Amino acid sequence: MSFLTQIIFEHIIIHWGLCFVLTMFDLVTGPKYKIRKLFIPDSWCNIFFCVVINQVFITFPCLYLFGNFSNEPFLSWQNLYKLPLTLLYEEIFFYTTHKILHSQYLYKKIHKIHHRWTSPAALSATYAHPFEHFFSNVAPIILAARFAGLGKEAARFWHAFALFNTILFSHGGYVSNLHDKHHTDFNCNFGVLGLLDYIFGTLRM
CB 41 within 8 A of CB 117: yes
Hey, CA dihedral for 111, 117, 120, 125, is it positive or negative? negative
Instruction: Write a three-state SS string for the chain.
Output: CCHHHHHHHHHHHHHHHHHHHHHHHHHHHCCCCCCCCCCCCCCHHHHHHHHHHHHHHHHHHHHHHHHHCECCCCCCCCHHHHHHHHHHHHHHHHHHHHHHHCCHHHHHHCHHHHHHCCCCCHHHHHCCCHHHHHHHHHHHHHHHHHHHCCEHHHHHHHHHHHHHHHHHHHCCCCCCCHHHHHHHHCCCCCCCCCHHHHHHCCCCC
| pLDDT value for 191 | 93
The region that residue 173 occupies, defined by phi over 0 for left and psi between -120 and 50 for alpha, beta otherwise, is: left
What string of pLDDT tens digits covers the 205 residues of the chain?
A: 788 888 999 999 999 999 999 888 877 876 666 666 766 767 778 888 999 999 999 999 998 887 778 888 877 888 889 999 999 999 999 999 999 999 999 999 999 999 988 877 888 899 999 999 999 999 999 999 999 999 989 999 999 999 999 998 888 777 777 888 888 888 899 999 999 999 999 998 8
pLDDT score, position 203: 92
pLDDT value for 178: 82
pTM of the model: 0.90
Give residue 30's pLDDT: 66
Q: What is the pLDDT of residue 11?
A: 95
145-200, pLDDT tens digit by residue? 999 999 989 999 999 999 999 998 888 777 777 888 888 888 899 999 999 999 99
